[in-house]
Amino acid sequence: MKKNIILAIGNELVEGIIVDTNSKYIANKLLEHGYKTIMTKTLPDDLEILVTEIKNSLETSDLLITTGGLGPTKDDITREAVSLAIDKKLIPDQKLVEKITAKAKKYYKEVPDIVKKQGQVIEGAIVLENPVGTAPGQIINFGTKTILILPGPPAELYPIFNEALKYIKKDSPIYTRRVKTLGIPEAVIVEKYKNIIFSNKKITVATMASYKSGVELRFTGDISLKKEIDKIVEKLLKEIGDFIYALDEKSIEEVVFEKLLESNKTVSFTESCTGGLVSSSFVNIPGVSKVFKGSVVAYSNEIKETILNVKKETLINFGAVSKECVKEMAKGVAEKFSTDYSLAISGIAGPTGGTKEKPIGTVWICAYDRKNNEYIVQKYLFKGTRETIRYRSTLYAFDTLRRLIK
C-alpha cells in the first residue's frame, strides 16, 4: 500500500477562519486508488516552514499533495516552496499566462499584472487546467515520488484532483466499509462486539465518535480482504441490529429520505432549539421535495400557539420544553402541511436558560404518524456547547423518525 501526505496551506486554515474539508475528500478518494493517507498537516503561508515540511514529507511518502497557496497574491507561495524543496526552476509559461489572463477578464474589468504569477510552472511539471478559477494545478514526478499541487477552494480543487488521478500510478486498491451507529456508546460497542470487530488482524479497524454522526466503525484492508470485511459487517448488522442506522457513505438524512420515498410518504418538521437545522440538513439531499413539504421554526411560544395550535394550557402547565408540547407541535405541523409524518423538537441549547428541573441540554423530540395517530417521544439530556446540543438534537430527531417509519 502506497503512502500519501496532504499539506493544507494557508494562514486562514491555521487561524481557524476556514475549516479544511479538502483533506478528507482527497484521503477518501485516494483509498480507492491504493494510497493510504498517513498524515495531514495545516501549514501557514511561511516559505521556510513550507520548504522544510515538503522535504520531510517526501522522505516518508510516495505521494505528496498540497492544497492552497496558488493564487496571485504575495502570500501565495506554494509554487515557490515546492520548487525550492526539490531544487527545480520556476518557469513562466507565456501561453498559460495568456489563457489565465483571458479567463480573468471574465471576472475583472481590468486584469492586474499579479494574475500572471499563476502562469509560473515548476520545471518538468504537467499543468492541470482549472475549469472554474484561474489557478491551475501541477503534478511533478520527482524520482520515485509524485507531488500534486492543488488550489484551495473546493469547487476548483475537486475537478483538478479527479483529473490528476489519471497521472497517479494506481496501487492495489483498498476496500473500506463503514458501520454507523447511534444510541450505543463507543466503549460498549468495542468491548461487547470485540470478537467480531477484531476477528481478522489483517483488517485495520478505526472507531470514531461524533456529535454529528454518532459512533462509526471503519474497516479497511486490501481488496483481497473484501469478503472477510463484508462478513464482519453482516455479523454486526445481526448483532447490533437497529442501533445501526446506515452503512458506508450514507447519512441518516438519506436513510430517512429513502424510507419515505419507498413508502410514498411525506414529512414536515417543526423546530425550536435547532432553529431550522433539521430542515437545512434534509434539503441538502437532491430530490427531497418528493417527500418534504415544509417546516416551521417555532422559536417563540406565540408561534407554537398561533401556527401549530399548541394549547396555552399546555405551555402554562408543562412549558415549551416538555413531552406534552412536542406532541402537540408534531400533530400541529403534520395537520398544517397535510403530511404523513412529522418531527418536533423543543429544548434548551444554552448557554443560558436552564433550570434545576430542566437543565441546559434538555431536549424533547417527537416523531408523529398522522394516519395511525402514533407517537414516539424521547427526552434527552445532551452535554456540550450550544452547537453540540443543536447538532445532537438534529441527529437523534432523524433517528426517531427512522424508527417510526414502517
Answer whether 55's CB lies under 8 Å from 138's CB: no
Answer whether 393's CB lies under 8 Å from 363's CB: yes
Looking at the chain, the whole-number percentage of residues with pLDDT higher than 90 is 90
DSSP-assigned beta bridge partners for residue 220: 176, 204
Beta strands 63-67 and 2-9 are parallel
Neighbour-count burial of 83, counting CB atoms closer than 10 A to its CB (0-12 exposed, 13-18 middle, 19+ buried): buried
Give the pLDDT confidence score for residue 349 in this predicted structure. Answer: 97
Amino acid at 143: G
Cell representation of residue 202 = 489483517
Q: Does pTM top 0.85 for this prediction? A: no
Neighbour-count burial of 299, counting CB atoms closer than 10 A to its CB (0-12 exposed, 13-18 middle, 19+ buried): middle
Task: Set out the domains of the chain in order of their start, with CATH numbers.
Answer: 2-167 (3.40.980.10), 174-247 (3.30.70.2860), 252-404 (3.90.950.20)
- Residue range 258-285, pLDDT digits in tens: 999 999 999 999 999 999 999 999 999 9
| Neighbouring C-alpha atoms within 13 Å toward the C-beta of 194 | 5
Element (H, E) at 63: strand 63-67
- Residue range 22-73, pLDDT digits in tens: 999 999 899 888 899 999 999 999 999 999 999 999 999 999 999 999 999 9
Answer whether 221's CB lies under 8 Å from 252's CB: no
* Nearest alpha carbon to residue 39 among 79, 84, 3, 72: 3
- pLDDT reading at 106 higher than 80: no
Give the pLDDT confidence score for residue 266 in this predicted structure. Answer: 98
Answer whether 366's CB lies under 8 Å from 320's CB: no
Q: What is the mean pLDDT of residues 128-144?
A: 94
